[in-house]
Amino acid sequence: MLRTLRQKYHLSLLVLSLAGSMIVPLANTFIIMPKLEQGIVSTEEAHSQVSAKYMISALSIKDYLKGEGELDIMELNRYAKSFHVREFKLFSSEGLILKSSEPSNVGIFNKRDYYRNKVARGELYSKLVLADERTKEGVVSSYDVIETYIPIMDNGVFLGAFEIYHDVTKEISDIKNLIARINYSAILGFLFFSFCLLVLYLLTRKTDNEYIELLKTKDALNRSLEEKDCLLAEIHHRVKNNMQVITSLMMLQSESIHSEEIKKAFTDNVSRIKSMALVHERMYRSENLSRIDLNEYVRELMVAYVRDGVEMRQDINLGEVDIDTAMPVGLIINELVSNAMEHAFRGKADARIDVKLHVSKQGTCSLTVSDNGVGLPEGIDFKRDKSFGLFLVSLFVDQLEGEITIHRDNGTMFEINFPLKA
Residue 118 dihedral angles phi and psi, to the nearest 5°: -120, -60
Domain borders along the chain are: 2-133+140-179, 290-419
Assigned superfamily of 290-419:
Histidine kinase-like ATPase, C-terminal domain (3.30.565.10)
Residue pLDDT, tens place only, 89-105: 999 989 899 989 888 88
Per-chain mean pLDDT for the chain? 80
pLDDT computed for residue 384 by the predictor? 62
Report CA torsion sign: 262, 267, 268, 269: positive
Q: What angle do CA 273, 279, 281 make, to 5 degrees?
A: 100
pLDDT computed for residue 113 by the predictor? 87
Q: What fold is seen in the domain 2-133+140-179? A: Beta-Lactamase (3.30.450)
Sequence-distant contacts of 234-243: CB under 8 A, at least 24 apart: 236/280, 236/281, 236/283, 236/284, 236/289, 237/280, 237/284, 239/277, 239/280, 240/277, 240/280, 240/281, 240/284, 243/273, 243/274, 243/276, 243/277, 243/280
Which regions of the chain are under pLDDT 50? 2
Q: What is the percent of the chain where pLDDT is above 70?
A: 84
Cβ neighbour number for residue 68 with a 10 Å cutoff: 9
pLDDT computed for residue 417 by the predictor? 92
Between the CA of residue 318 and those of 185, 192, 268, 292, 372, what are the distances in Å?
A: 73, 64, 27, 11, 25
DSSP class of residue 350 equals: S
3-state secondary structure of 94: coil
Distance CA(35)–CA(41), nearest Å, equals 10
Amino acid (1-letter code) at residue 321: V
Residue 221 dihedral angles phi and psi, to the nearest 5°: -65, -40
Q: What angle do CA 166, 167, 170 make, to 5 degrees?
A: 145
Distance CA(60)–CA(75), nearest Å, equals 12
pLDDT computed for residue 52 by the predictor? 86
